[in-house]
């Protein structure tokens, strides 16, 4: 048996390919939308991708199941464990094999057994793998978003992101029973999760790519509970704010994502075209560095500098009902940018403007220093707007700060004053720059972002803490 690991750092998402050397068959688990890496590895190893599956209807990225099946003819295996609201509706779903708890199939000499693991979502399943060429007992489990290294999947996404009220507590209780079921499985089983550190699908995911079930039983907090109510309370507390695009992903991955071959390729456009698009309500994301945006940017554009997981911030503010335009560095790799954005379903990108073609009539983004922040604390001359997550705010914050996580700004505009100076901050300045550009798009001319890459504001917070 061959096992290959793939990891998308932009989304902290893991996927896998298993192959049988004897028969040349292979299966991909939880594929990302860009299927080229799987095709390259399969060709290199002399394998044919004959099967493709996933653990659940994903919320944080566009699934590659449909794409890979279209490219290779692979048989799709999809969960049939959810209720009527969580059944797949792909155009090709009639050709898929729908599986339930206990079902098995073979990929060459590799046995795949389905284990129902509801909790993160109602339809969630895991795959226990046995290499029958050398063993009659399983080797490990692809646990998807049920079990991570050091954590388990959050059960509140249907309520928090998809807006389905009354689902998070029942989900947490189902998650408890899924954990109890795994407690009875052998300690030696390897655990291959679908996410790593940085994913919003849990609150404390480890950075190690894999684990063993025995290790998780000993050290994963989720396995330390025998009382269901205590588990539910622990699991629902402290979950990070889910990006707004998660709701869209649930829908897209249920009905079937568009195939990449059917998407239009964005073209380079001139500045007047961009200005017209903004006037008509289109969203423009400026992917240049923070400093370049501060120095000069197209009024109304949103600053999201390219870095690890930048696409998640695009996902907070993108409007899927309108076209999205980009301002990009002159040396930008548009292939990589498109891969990153299409991974979260940003498919309607008519055009982009390179930095050198921006021309004149640019706006500057106001900035503030820690000295300005200290003065504002002393004389209350400005509102301090904390754009970090709730758990960060609860750990430490500046006295009197208005706390609104960056992704929630558009829905809480009424809480933000327009008649008094505002200094926005986060941990390092990235989120506060994103948020400040968002608020300026909404007409807030009284806001500056704290330039504090070393996070020295914390020293100020500690010095004034009661």
Give 142-188 pLDDT, tens digit per residue. Answer: 999 999 999 999 999 878 777 778 889 999 999 999 999 999 999 99
pLDDT band at 53 (very low <50, low <70, confident <90, very high): very high
Which run of H or E residues covers position 37?
helix 36-45
Q: Is the pLDDT of residue 255 over 70?
A: yes
pLDDT tens per residue, range 267-300: 999 999 999 999 999 999 999 999 999 999 999 9
Report the distance separating Cα 11 and Cα 34, nearest Å. 13
pLDDT tens per residue, range 353-390: 999 999 999 999 999 999 999 999 999 999 999 999 99
Report the distance separating Cα 421 and Cα 381, nearest Å. 7
CATH number for the domain whose boundaries are 2-255? 3.60.15.10
Report the distance separating Cα 200 and Cα 312, nearest Å. 10
Domain borders along the chain are 2-255, 263-357, 367-464
Q: State the pTM of this model.
A: 0.94
354, β-bridge pairs: 328
Residues 218-228: what's their mean pLDDT? 98
Residues 442-465: what's their mean pLDDT? 88
Identical fold for domains 2-255 and 367-464, yes or no, is no
* Closest of 315, 308, 296, 338 to residue 430, by C-alpha: 308
At residue 432's C-alpha, the angle toward residues 331 and 346, to 5°, is 50
DSSP class of residue 415 equals G
pLDDT confidence of residue 465: 62
Q: Is the pLDDT of residue 412 over 80?
A: yes
pLDDT confidence of residue 389: 94
Residues 23-35: what's their mean pLDDT? 98
Q: Is the pLDDT of residue 325 over 60?
A: yes
Report the distance separating Cα 32 and Cα 185, nearest Å. 29
Q: What are phi and psi of 3, to 5 degrees?
A: -125, 125
Token pair belonging to 75: 């048989």
Classify residue 355 by burial, with Cβ atoms within 10 Å: 0-12, 13-18, 19+. middle
Which run of H or E residues covers position 273?
helix 271-279
367-464 belongs to which CATH class? Answer: alpha beta
pLDDT confidence of residue 466: 46
Residues 441-455: what's their mean pLDDT? 91
pLDDT confidence of residue 210: 97
CATH number for the domain whose boundaries are 263-357? 3.40.250.10
Identify the three-state secondary structure at position 39: helix
Report the distance separating Cα 444 and Cα 413, nearest Å. 10
Q: What are phi and psi of 295, to 5 degrees?
A: -70, -35
pLDDT confidence of residue 93: 87
Q: Average pLDDT over the chain, rounded to whole?
A: 95
158: left (phi over 0), alpha (psi -120 to 50) or beta: alpha
Q: What percent of the chain has pLDDT over 90?
A: 88
């Amino acid at each position: 048996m061959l096992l290959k690991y793939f990891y998308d750092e932009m989304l902290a998402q893991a996927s896998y390919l298993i192959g049988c050397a004897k028969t040349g068959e292979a299966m991909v688990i939880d594929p990302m939308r860009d299927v080229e890496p799987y095709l390259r590895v399969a060709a290199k190893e002399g394998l044919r991708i004959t099967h493709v599956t996933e653990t659940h209807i994903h919320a944080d990225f566009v699934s590659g199941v449909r794409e890979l099946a279209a490219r290779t003819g692979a048989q799709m295996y999809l969960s049939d464990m959810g209720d009527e609201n969580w059944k797949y509706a792909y155009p090709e779903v009639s050709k898929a094999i729908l599986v339930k708890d206990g079902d098995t199939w073979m990929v060459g000499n590799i046995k795949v057994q389905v284990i129902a693991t509801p909790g993160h979502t109602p339809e969630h399943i895991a795959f226990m793998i046995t290499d029958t060429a050398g063993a009659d007992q399983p080797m490990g489990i692809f646990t998807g978003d049920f079990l991570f290294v050091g954590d388990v999947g959050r059960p509140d996404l249907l309520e928090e992101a998809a807006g389905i009220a009354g689902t998070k507590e029942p989900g947490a209780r189902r998650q408890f029973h899924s954990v109890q079921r795994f407690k009875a499985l052998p300690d030696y089983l390897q655990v291959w999760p679908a996410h790593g550190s940085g994913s919003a699908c849990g609150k404390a995911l480890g950075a190690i790519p894999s684990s063993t079930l025995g290790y998780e039983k000993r050290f994963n907090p989720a396995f330390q509970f025998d009382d269901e109510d205590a588990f539910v309370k622990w699991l629902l507390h402290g979950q990070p704010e889910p990006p707004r695009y998660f709701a869209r992903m649930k829908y897209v991955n249920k009905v079937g994502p568009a195939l990449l071959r059917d998407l239009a390729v964005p073209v380079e456009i001139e500045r007047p075209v961009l200005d017209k698009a903004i006037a008509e309500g289109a969203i423009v994301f400026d992917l240049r560095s923070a400093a370049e945006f501060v120095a000069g940017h197209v009024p109304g554009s949103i600053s999201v500098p390219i870095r690890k997981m930048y696409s998640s911030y695009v996902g907070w503010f993108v409007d899927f009902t309108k076209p999205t335009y980009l301002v990009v560095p002159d040396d930008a790799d548009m292939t990589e940018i498109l891969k990153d954005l299409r991974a979260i379903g940003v498919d309607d990108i008519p055009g982009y403007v390179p930095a050198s073609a921006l021309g004149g009539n640019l706006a500057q983004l106001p900035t503030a220093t820690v000295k300005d922040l200290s003065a504002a604390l002393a004389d209350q001359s400005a509102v301090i707007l904390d754009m970090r997550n709730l758990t960060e705010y609860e750990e430490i914050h500046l006295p009197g700060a208005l706390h609104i996580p960056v992704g929630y700004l558009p829905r809480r505009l009424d809480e933000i004053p327009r008649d008094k100076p505002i200094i926005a901050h986060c941990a390092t300045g990235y989120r506060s720059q994103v948020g400040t550009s968002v608020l300026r798009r909404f007409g807030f001319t009284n806001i500056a972002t704290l330039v504090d890459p070393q996070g020295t504001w914390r020293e100020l917070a500690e010095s004034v803490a009661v």
